[in-house]
Chain A
Amino acid sequence: MARMKFLCDSERCIECNGCVTACKNENETPWGIQRRRVVTLGDGLPGEKSVSVACMHCSDAPCMAVCPTDCFYRTDEGVVLHDKDQCIGCGYCFYACPFGAPQFPQEGNFGIRGKMDKCTFCAGGPEKDGSADEHQKYGGNRLAEGKLPLCAEMCSTKALLAGDADVISEIFRERALTRGKGGELWGWQQAYGKDGAPAPAPAKKEVQK
């Protein structure tokens, strides 16, 4: 079974917000709810980089681990979804999520926190695929139609990739090879420090133990 992932190639992302708007278009989320955002680092400075971020559909999803009502579930394709009927809008998942993916619409007269909303990888929710109910609660279900998330399909520079993890990592690997650089962006160095340090300090300590 394919395992669905997003990957944003920061060498290509130009922060055009095509992905953000495509998401709006497909899922009709209301004003103030953006399941996907583009984050720019070093804005206006040499080395400026942008990356498009939404729910990363983690393999070991913290939101899933902390949810008090256990409303999350993972599909066979590795997509992390949730059941809005079960969600109590507590916001715990938001604190757990490293990417700030969960969103909460304001509801009612007092602006209370509504049911959590997040990227579904364009895979809808627990309701019947393509049903009106599903569409109203979660937006489109493109996976059921054999299509990929619209954000990636419409990306202006093909920076945002979505699909089977093996396939998109192969696409990215080929790009990094052609460029002769950039592979490090997703590797050890980016996560734990530059200058080719072979391994970060905490790991060493563990080895010594």
Chain B
Amino acid sequence: MLMQKNKTAATRRSRLTRDVSLSAPETIDRRTFLKRSGIGLGVGAVAGQLGGGMMRQAEAADPGKEGKVEIRRTVCTHCSVGCAIDAEVVNGVWVGQEPVFDSPINLGAHCAKGASVREHGHGEMRLKYPMKLVDGKYQKISWDQALNEIGEKLLAIRKQHGPDAVYWIGSSKHSNEQSYLMRKFVSFWGTNNCDHQARVCHATTVAGVANTWGYGAMTNSYNDMQNAKAIFFMGSNAAEAHPVAMMHVLHAKESGTKIIVADPRFTRTAAKADQYVRFRSGTDIPVIWGILYHVFKNGWEDKQYIADRVYGMEKVREEVAKWTPEVVKEACGVDGETLFKVAETMAKNRPSSIVWCMGQTQHSIGNAMVRAFCILQLALGNIGKSGGGANIFRGHDNVQGATDLGPNPDSLPGYYGIAAGAWKHWARVWGVDYEWIKSRYASEAMMTKPGITVSRWIDGVLEKNENIDQGPNLKAVVYWGMAPNSQSRGKEMIEAMKALDLLVVVDPYPSATAAMGAMARKDGVYLLPASTQFETVGSVTASNRSLQWREKVIEPLFESKPDHTIMYLLAQKFGFEKEFTKNIKVTNNEPSMEDTLREINKGSWTIGYTGQSPERLKLHMKNMHTFDVKTLRAKGGPCDGDYFGLPWPCYGTPEMKHPGSPNLYDTSRHVMDGGGNFRANFGVERDGVSLLAGDGSASKGADLQFGYPEFDHVLLKKLGWWDDLTDEEKKEAEGKNWKTDLSGGIQRVVMKVHGCHPFGNAKARAVVWNFPDAVPLHREALYSPRADMVEKYPTHDDKKAFWRLPTLFKSVQQKNKDIGKDFPLILTSGRLVEYEGGGEETRSNPWLAELQQEAFVEINPKAANDRGIRDGEDVWVKTPTGAQLKVKAQVTERVDATTCFMPFHFSGRWMGEDMLKYYPEGAHPIVRGEAVNTATTYGYDSVTMMQETKTTVCQVVKA
């Protein structure tokens, strides 16, 4: 039955192709390919099942029925662009989805994922009630039983092994309030063993960028890219990963902006570019230094800017001088002429902007790659300018917010870190005793030691106890809104799951964790149904740092509960619910999200999460039409002068009315106008050289028109500004600095009265002396098919205790020096527009699942022909881990003959086996496929423990 359906689809397609394009080359596109290959019983069965749901929904959607249509404004949960959505709700049923043309961010536009969110209101494949694995099968249990059993087991583990034996994986899909509560919750449990998606997404960016100029975030906005004269994408496929961003980019292109894309793969973004640069995966630094070589050679660098605002550029110059066109070509495969053209385009079309994503971050030297890219922009003088900037597109809808406020193993909310001072600051905000928090931890040392990262939790279980830098091995893992198939070394993850005492999943969908858990174990797995963001309220931070408030669209479906309610219930079980919600009203076990945001406002001075009160955010959501699309600024109306969503930093108290910062470090504006400068966070001097900004290089209208350090009570007094504080403020500000003064007085006086920046005014650092490579150096991936390059550009030495674990670099690389003989192809991964992250949620959505029905590997025609592989055939992708993945071959010129590409959104098949039987009945993703990370190899970033998934090796053979 389905065979026929697909045949007609294929016939139609070929007809169309013939009619429309007589001269088009003979290629097969991805849709046709997948339509043809997506023939299978599984799909047919699902289509049958869907019938009922669709019918019911059609009835609910009956516009003729009684009931008032209510409009609830929310924000898409599928990427960091932050597209607004108007949901039409009748009698509690989500019956319609309307574009919000007023949104200055997306102007009503959506990609496939955004256009599909109403399907969440159907939720056929959701995890519907708490479940427990009994004898290898999931059984329904009650919430009471689930919370009791999970609670008892966790408390028993805590008693026997200590709090560090439990690993808490939070979520970048939680709202700001939920992710903030999550970090608080884990702290009160007594461990730093918590993390979320940001670790495997942009951890290298956050560390690299923050260490370069102050804040680890996108500097400008999607909208501001309309002001760029050239845009350079490297390791970003925005057309599939952030499609609505392309609205702004293509609009810019039409006004003459030059688009450059550098990527090992000819992406859909590359198809829209003026220049495309194909390079060998993992050689970003040679490419960037190859470009900077021409910038320096031709004197295109911004000399005044470098003198005033950049530290250490001369050291970079020395390194770059080594990267002559010949050396560059040998390393990355790109010739000098191509890179000269890129350099010329970026230099002669200023302000020029850069964009990077996971293509650049997920490497064992990711921290250095992103810094090299930053340095290119500093050399060109592009940072702190409208139209310039480092436009780092984040992934999940709230990965920026969760990074800023959420469960990070090395920091409390607001990047305060985990030193004693940070704990004391937050203890004050939370209204709890510092000593009490300390008593929850195994020791003071464990309280101030960064936890294990999510990329390595499996080693926290499997590593020998004497090798790990904490007391116990991990005994329990709680997957609270993250997919396991987004972490590398999946084959070993199964072993880790077997070794655990307890595995808990809290998620709207059972997720691949449930299936892997049931595959690995017979018992000891619990599933708790969480609500989606459409079933609760809260704020979400888009990639451009704008916050938006979501209204509740529908009540929690089935037996699901909002994440913060589940946190509260567990806190109750653990006996710290009173401390947990000291300043927060709780109704029916649900902590108030408004109160939670107010608590965030009360404490997050470092990054300006203080001015965005729930009232101000809600006002913005109601008055979207008053904001300008290009500048994001409101003209008139109740939000007059504000930037949309009060992009952080929005300093001071809400009453100070800071408008938010549209473009970071922009000296052309007054600080009360969203202007700023680079942060003084690394001292005032290094080896006799001042780190403070040069004279005349300060934000507009600042009383101090030169470099200055960050503000505290001492500096304020020295400058004679102390008496600008009110008596009330003085009382609080005494002995404090701009980050810890809870009155906000220091920020008010510095900014509003004196026009200065509370975090000081310093130079950006081209040399980051606290990183393994102070000047970014190219080092080959641990698994590289090029033995000659490994020889020339070896990796780091092994580390003994790094984020509590031994971490291997050189020993792995040396052992696998000749791996190219058996695994000659580079394996890299990336996104498809229809799916998100690990993909279980989106693959459970029939509207999306229908569009991508098979996992596949892209392989070049030459590589395929050499292996006797034809398009659409089943192949095994084999990697050095011994894992092999059975997927369809898509033979395409999109990749070159040395590279293979796999999308990373699939799961539900395991080395050839369908995992359907391991899912709870009726709650499995419609489309299942091999997860690329089942087969990915070892390799971690030398600063952040980011996993190396963008460059590894494989062999492909016919199945």
User: Which of B16, B118, B239 sits near A14, CB closer than 8 Å?
Assistant: B239
User: Which of A12, A16, A38, A132 sits near B240, CB closer than 8 Å?
Assistant: A16
Determine the chain A residues whose CB is within 8 A of the CB of B246 once the complex forms: 14, 16, 156-157
Q: Taking the complex as formed, is B65 at the interface, i.e. its CB lies under 8 A from any CB of chain A?
A: yes
Determine the chain A residues whose CB is within 8 A of the CB of B858 once the complex forms: 44
CA separation between A99 and B63, bound complex, in Å? Answer: 31
Determine the chain A residues whose CB is within 8 A of the CB of B64 once the complex forms: 130-132, 135
In the complex, are the beta carbons of B20 and A51 less than 8 A apart? yes
User: Which of A21, A22, A40 sits near B30, CB closer than 8 Å?
Assistant: A40
Name B1-42 residues within 8 Å CB distance of A.
1-2, 4-5, 8, 12-13, 15-17, 19-21, 23-25, 27-31
In the complex, are the beta carbons of A44 and B116 less than 8 A apart? no
Q: Taking the complex as formed, is A24 at the interface, i.e. its CB lies under 8 A from any CB of chain B?
A: yes
Interface size class of B (residues with CB under 8 A): 35 or more
CA separation between A130 and B107, bound complex, in Å? Answer: 27
In the complex, are the beta carbons of A21 and B893 less than 8 A apart? no
Determine the chain B residues whose CB is within 8 A of the CB of A146 once the complex forms: none
Name B232-256 residues within 8 Å CB distance of A.
239-240, 243-244, 246-247, 250, 254-255
Name A7-35 residues within 8 Å CB distance of B.
11-12, 14-22, 24-26, 28, 30-32, 34
Q: Which of A21, A41, A47, A51 has the most CB of B within 10 A?
A: A21
In the complex, are the beta carbons of A157 and B112 less than 8 A apart? no
CA separation between A145 and B268, bound complex, in Å? Answer: 35
Among B53-61, B559-567, B679-687, the one that faces the other chain is B53-61
Chain A: interface secondary structure? loop
User: Which of A21, A42, A49 sits near B115, CB closer than 8 Å?
Assistant: A21
Given A16-B243, A24-B847, A156-B111, A41:B20 Cβ within 8 A = yes
Determine the chain B residues whose CB is within 8 A of the CB of A24 once the complex forms: 115-116, 847, 850
Q: Taking the complex as formed, is B670 at the interface, i.e. its CB lies under 8 A from any CB of chain A?
A: no
In the complex, are the beta carbons of A156 and B109 less than 8 A apart? yes
User: Which of A39, A45, A50, A135 sits near B25, CB closer than 8 Å?
Assistant: A45
Closest Cβ of chain B to A10, distance in Å, is 10
CA separation between A15 and B99, bound complex, in Å? Answer: 19
User: Which of A28, A43, A111 sits near B58, CB closer than 8 Å?
Assistant: A28
Q: Which of A14, A20, A45 has the most CB of B within 10 A?
A: A14
Given A21-B116, A42-B25, A44-B892, A179:B254 Cβ within 8 A = yes
Q: Taking the complex as formed, is B119 at the interface, i.e. its CB lies under 8 A from any CB of chain A?
A: yes
Q: How many residues of A contact B (CB 8 A)?
A: 58
In the complex, are the beta carbons of A106 and B4 less than 8 A apart? yes
Q: Taking the complex as formed, is A46 at the interface, i.e. its CB lies under 8 A from any CB of chain B?
A: yes
In the complex, are the beta carbons of B111 and A11 less than 8 A apart? no
Q: Taking the complex as formed, is A173 at the interface, i.e. its CB lies under 8 A from any CB of chain B?
A: no
Closest Cβ of chain A to B651, distance in Å, is 34
CA separation between A136 and B116, bound complex, in Å? Answer: 19
Given A24-B116, A25-B116, A106-B4, A135:B61 Cβ within 8 A = yes
Determine the chain B residues whose CB is within 8 A of the CB of A53 once the complex forms: 16
In chain B, what residue has the closest Cβ to A32? B5
Q: Taking the complex as formed, is B276 at the interface, i.e. its CB lies under 8 A from any CB of chain A?
A: yes
User: Which of A30, A39, A42, A130 sits near B51, CB closer than 8 Å?
Assistant: A30
Determine the chain B residues whose CB is within 8 A of the CB of A31 once the complex forms: 43, 46-47, 50, 846, 850
Determine the chain A residues whose CB is within 8 A of the CB of B239 once the complex forms: 14-16
In the complex, are the beta carbons of A14 and B268 less than 8 A apart? yes
CA separation between A154 and B113, bound complex, in Å? Answer: 11
In the complex, are the beta carbons of A18 and B16 less than 8 A apart? no
Closest Cβ of chain A to B133, distance in Å, is 31
CA separation between A31 and B848, bound complex, in Å? Answer: 10
Q: Taking the complex as formed, is A184 at the interface, i.e. its CB lies under 8 A from any CB of chain B?
A: no
Closest Cβ of chain B to A153, distance in Å, is 5
Given A28-B57, A31-B50, A37-B31, A44:B250 Cβ within 8 A = no
Q: Taking the complex as formed, is B110 at the interface, i.e. its CB lies under 8 A from any CB of chain A?
A: yes
Determine the chain A residues whose CB is within 8 A of the CB of B28 once the complex forms: 43
Closest Cβ of chain A to B8, distance in Å, is 7
In chain B, what residue has the closest Cβ to A47? B271
CA separation between A99 and B24, bound complex, in Å? Answer: 17
Q: Taking the complex as formed, is A73 at the interface, i.e. its CB lies under 8 A from any CB of chain B?
A: no
In the complex, are the beta carbons of B65 and A132 less than 8 A apart? yes
In the complex, are the beta carbons of B109 and A154 less than 8 A apart? yes
User: Which of B13, B30, B62, B65 sits near A100, CB closer than 8 Å?
Assistant: B13
In the complex, are the beta carbons of A154 and B114 less than 8 A apart? yes
Determine the chain A residues whose CB is within 8 A of the CB of B244 once the complex forms: 156-157
In the complex, are the beta carbons of B110 and A43 less than 8 A apart? no
CA separation between A105 and B239, bound complex, in Å? Answer: 32
Closest Cβ of chain A to B726, distance in Å, is 50
In the complex, are the beta carbons of B27 and A18 less than 8 A apart? no
Q: Taking the complex as formed, is B705 at the interface, i.e. its CB lies under 8 A from any CB of chain A?
A: no
In chain B, what residue has the closest Cβ to A48? B271
Determine the chain A residues whose CB is within 8 A of the CB of B499 once the complex forms: none
Determine the chain A residues whose CB is within 8 A of the CB of B24 once the complex forms: 41-42
Q: Taking the complex as formed, is B434 at the interface, i.e. its CB lies under 8 A from any CB of chain A?
A: no
User: Which of A16, A28, A39 sits near B61, CB closer than 8 Å?
Assistant: A28
In the complex, are the beta carbons of B243 and A157 less than 8 A apart? yes
Q: Taking the complex as formed, is A155 at the interface, i.e. its CB lies under 8 A from any CB of chain B?
A: yes
In the complex, are the beta carbons of A100 and B850 less than 8 A apart? no
Known: A17-B833, A18-B115. 8 other contacts (CB 8 A): A16-B111, A21-B848, A39-B13, A43-B28, A43-B892, A99-B16, A153-B101, A157-B250
Which residues does A use to contact B, with CB under 8 Å?
Answer: 11-12, 14-22, 24-26, 28, 30-32, 34, 37-51, 53, 98-100, 104, 106, 111, 130-132, 135-136, 147, 150, 153-158, 175, 178-179, 194
- 8 residue pairs of the A-B complex, CB under 8 angstroms, read A15-B268, A28-B57, A30-B50, A37-B31, A41-B17, A44-B27, A44-B266, A104-B8
Which residues does B use to contact A, with CB under 8 Å?
Answer: 1-2, 4-5, 8, 12-13, 15-17, 19-21, 23-25, 27-31, 43, 46-47, 50-51, 54, 57-58, 61-65, 96-99, 101, 107-116, 118-119, 239-240, 243-244, 246-247, 250, 254-255, 266, 268-269, 271-272, 276, 833-834, 846-848, 850-851, 858, 892-894
The 6 closest A-B pairs by CB, nearest first: A44-B894, A100-B12, A43-B29, A17-B112, A48-B271, A16-B243
